[in-house]
Structure formats: C-alpha cells, structure tokens
Amino acid sequence: MSFTVAVIGRPNVGKSTLFNRLTGKRQAIVDDTPGVTRDRREGQGRIADLEFRVIDTAGLDRGPARSLQARMQDQTERALGMADVALFMIDARAGVTAVDRHFADRLRRAGKPVIVVANKCEGGKGESGRLEAYALGLGDPLAVSAEHGEGLNELYEALRPFADSGDAADAAGEDARPLQLAVIGRPNVGKSTLVNRLLGDDRMLTGPEAGITRDAISTQWTWKGHDIRLIDTAGLRRKARVTEKLESLSVGDTLNAVRFAEVVVLVADATVGLEKQDLSIARLVVEEGRALVIAVNKWDLAQNRKQALKDIDEKLEWSLPQAEGVPVVACSALTGKGLEKLLPAVFRVYRLWNRRLTTGELNRWLAAVEDAHPPPLAKGRRVRLRYITQAKTRPPTFVVFASQPTGLPESYLRYLTGGLREAFGLVAVPIRIHLRKTSKKNPYVDG
C-alpha cells in the first residue's frame, strides 16, 4: 500500500531540495531566498525500492490572520492532514531555533508520526545542530544532505515501516516488513549457488565461470514465517582490477545493495580461506553500519577444516576488531550441509543490530567502567564523562557527553566500545560512539 509523506519546516531549510531529490526531478524551484515555495506541491517519491507520494510545503512561519503567511500555513496544515508521516526539517548548521521549537510543539499536538530531518549535514558540519534536535522530543534526528544526497539510507529505514500498512506496520515491529539480506563476496565463491540452495529453486544463473552475475537480483522469500528480501550480487574484485565499464556498473550495483541491506552475508571460499579482498569487503560492510555474517562455502572441499577455522578466526580478530564476534558458518551450498545454521545466525545479529538500551542502565555501566579505568588527563585536567545515551539503533550508536571530548584518546574509545560489547552482549555488530562537550550535570538524574 502506498503512503504519503509531507515535508515540513521553517523557510529556507531545504525542503524543496529534498523534494527534488526524492522525486528525482527538478520540479520545485530552489533558491536561497526564503519563502520561494507557497503552494503545496506533490510528486512521486522514491528511495531505492521504496515508493511513496511526497508533498512539498511552504515554510512554517507565523503571521496575522488572513495574511499571505496564514494562507500558506493553511496549505501546510492540509498537507499534514493528508500525510501518513511528516518529515520535519531543520537547518543543522543553524541549530534549533525558537521557530523550530514552536512548530515542533504544534506537530506533537497534531498526533501524526514525525521524523526529524537535520539537513545540511554534509561532511559532519551539522552534527552539533543534529544533536540539539533531540531536545524537540520528536525522536532520533536523521543527518542528511538534500543537496548532496547523503543520509538517504537512514531516511529509507525510517520511512519503510509506513510502506505496507501505514502506522500498523511501524507498530508491528520487525516482523511486519521483510528483512533486507544481501549476499556478497569475491567472484566465483558460490554466492548464486548459495542463494539457490536457500530458495530451493534454481532462481539464479550459476556456473564455473567467474562473474556470471552482473546485476543485484532481489527475491522475496519466507523462512519460518519471516519475510526476507534476498539479494544476490555481482562479485567484488580489487578496485585496480576493475577496468571494464560493465563490471564497474556491476560493482556500483553491489555497493548500493550493501548500503540498503540490514544484514550482509559475506561468502568466502573454504579452499583458500579469508583473503585480503574478503577482509576488505568485510570492513566495507562494517563501515556502512550493516550487521555481518560470514559463510565459509565449499566446506566439503576443505582439507584441514580445524586449521581452516582457526586461521579465519585469527584473521578476523586482527583485521576486523570493530565487529568482534562475527558469526562464521561453515557450509556447502552445493550439498546444503551446514546451511541450517546460516539463517538463525542472520536473525541473531539482526536483533542485536536493532537493540536499544535504556539510558539508566547505560549510565550505571558508564560509572562502573570510569571507576575501573578513569580517563587520562588532558591539558593537565581530568576528562569527566558526564553521561551517555543511545542516539539510535541500526547499528547501535551512542553519544557520550564529556568535559573535554577532544582530550579523550582513541584507545579510551576502544575501551568503552569493548566494555559495551562485553556488558550488553553487542557482538558481531558495529558500535559507534560520538563525543560531545558539556559542562552540565547528567540531565537524566532527577533533582
């Protein structure tokens, strides 16, 4: 079922730019002059496979009754009434203004689902403004750049729950929409054969030749009552070896599939073990913030299986510490042996990838780890960790407020990351920690 999205915000925050980006056409006039858009404009929006109706609205601004501004607001109110969800845009570089706070209160009273979009965040320049937007009380702000197309994968994930049946899909949780599962790896490691074995059908063309698959092919599938969108992709070779235009396009399609996936299965060849290119692909998946499972295919052809698993574990420990505990499933796509363990591992890491921790338990943990290992001195003064909160899931992302965030070394951030993994069982998924300066007390403590 299609759904409707209304883009709302004060003047000159980039609503029409986002509208043009979502529709893929230069439909709305864009200029630095505030208030260019007056009437609401509708178009067919799309992000990857997600399609919806999108409405561009006039900038929210207060004005006397019957004035032009008031009539523009009436159009915006009508657009909000038609929408299933509102994208409330702010200018992250300017921060949260009094006008933003005023209209955030109005949106809360309207009772519509709201997604806060912090625009102009290219290059991380608007990060402080995005963090300020938490004070609006409308949920996790998304960092985007409408002009450069950054952050659309996060917007895709935020909008997808509304695609099937409006608000009901959002309330139903992860079971209401298919899991986005991409299968990637080097050429000729058996990706298409593995997909065919999972589906129980020769859906993908296979053969001994490397590079048969050129496009990212998606298939809807159900496993034990779970809907899955399974994506088979072209093999990824080292960048220096990609010389033909067609292969370059295939690689781009594969990378796009990784960006929009939730869990990625990296297929490796058991007869050669984890090669440098396998580890490079694994790092790419982790850097994109996706959950990772490694399937070691052709296990029936492996010679010394015990040593092969030991070598894989050692390489992962040294080369992929940012996703410690990645499940390794030894299997044979040709015979099907060992594949019964793959999907349980996929859903296990998917649940961890979506896990949310309460602020209370996080701050109790932070106090304990700081007592056990205090931060070092910076400029002759002790770095104080004031409090911590989880900013978002998918992957688990945390914000630590400190007295001198620039004085906290990378080694201490690794210590905090390792502590989070050990204390809360966050293995196999990337963990992101952002630092922010504050001199205030923990706002989550009463009184």
SS3 labels along 421-440 = HHHHCCCCCCCEEEEEECCC
Residue 443 lies in a domain: no
Report the candidate in 327, 313, 279 with the shortest Cα–Cα distance to residue 429. 327
Going by pLDDT thresholds of 50, 70 and 90, the confidence category of residue 445 is low
Domain of residue 372, CATH code? 3.30.300.20
Among 417, 181, 438, 229, CA closest to 321? 417
**Is 94 a domain residue?**
yes
Supply the range of the domain harboring residue 428: 359-437
Residues 208 and 339 in one domain: yes
- 11 in a domain, yes or no? yes
- Assigned domain for 445 exists: no
Instruction: State the chain's mean pLDDT as an integer.
Output: 81
Which of 329, 353, 377 is the last residue before a domain boundary? 353
Regarding whether 210 and 157 lie in a shared domain, the answer is no
Predicted confidence band at 263 (pLDDT cuts at 50, 70, 90)?
Answer: very high
Residues 6+ apart with CB under 8 A from 368: none
**From the CB of residue 407, how many other CB atoms can be counted at a distance below 10 Å?**
17
In a domain, 159, yes or no: yes
Burial class of residue 241 in the structure, from the number of CB atoms within 10 Å of its CB (0-12 exposed, 13-18 middle, 19+ buried): exposed
One domain, residues 280 and 216? yes
pLDDT value at 282 more than 50? yes
State whether 113 and 219 are in the same domain.
no
Q: Has residue 16 been placed in a domain?
A: yes
Confidence of residue 172 (pLDDT cuts 50, 70, 90): very low
Task: Note the pLDDT of residue 373.
Answer: 93
| 218/318 Cα distance (integer angstroms) | 33
Give me the pLDDT at residue 285, please: 93
54/199 same-domain check:
no
CA 327, CA 360: separation in Å to the nearest integer? 30
Q: What total of structural domains would you count in the chain?
A: 3
SS3 126: coil
In a domain, 446, yes or no: no
Residues 95 and 203 in one domain: no
The pLDDT tens digits of the residues spanning 13-47 come to 888 888 888 888 654 433 344 443 434 567 788 88
Spatial separation of the C-alpha atoms in residues 159 and 195, rounded to whole Å: 28
207 touches 187 (CB < 8 A) = no
Same domain assignment for residues 111 and 156: yes
pTM: 0.60
pLDDT in tens, 330-349: 999 999 999 999 999 999 99
Per-residue tokens: 191: 């990706």
- Calculate ∠ Cα 327-344-314, nearest 5°: 10
Query: Which strand (E) or helix (H) includes residue 386?
Result: strand 385-392
Q: Say whether pLDDT at 171 is over 50.
A: no
- pLDDT tens readout for residues 93-112: 888 888 888 888 888 877 78
188 in the same domain as 88: no
Residues of the chain with pLDDT > 90, as a percent, come to: 30
Report whether the peptide linkage leading into residue 395 is cis, meaning its omega lies within 30 degrees of zero.
yes
pLDDT in tens, 290-326: 999 999 999 999 888 899 999 999 999 888 888 788 9
Write down the pLDDT at residue 14.
Answer: 85
* pLDDT higher at 446 or 157: 157
Place 74 in a pLDDT band, splitting at 50, 70 and 90.
low
Residues 18 and 165 placed together within one structural domain of the fold: yes
Q: Which of 171, 186, 216 is the last residue of a domain?
A: 171
Domain presence at residue 447: no
Pair (298, 390) in one structural domain: no
pLDDT tier, 49 (very low <50, low <70, confident <90, very high otherwise): confident
Beta bridge partners of 301: none
Where is the domain boundary, 290, 323, 353? 353
Same-domain pairing of 298 and 343: yes
Q: Higher-confidence residue: 290 or 125?
A: 290
Share of the chain above pLDDT 70, in %: 79
Residues sharing a CB contact under 8 Å with residue 373, sequence separation 6 or more, in sequence order = 415
CB atoms within 10 A of CB 270: 24
Whichever domain contains 282, its CATH number is 3.40.50.300
Residue 322 and residue 413 in one domain: no
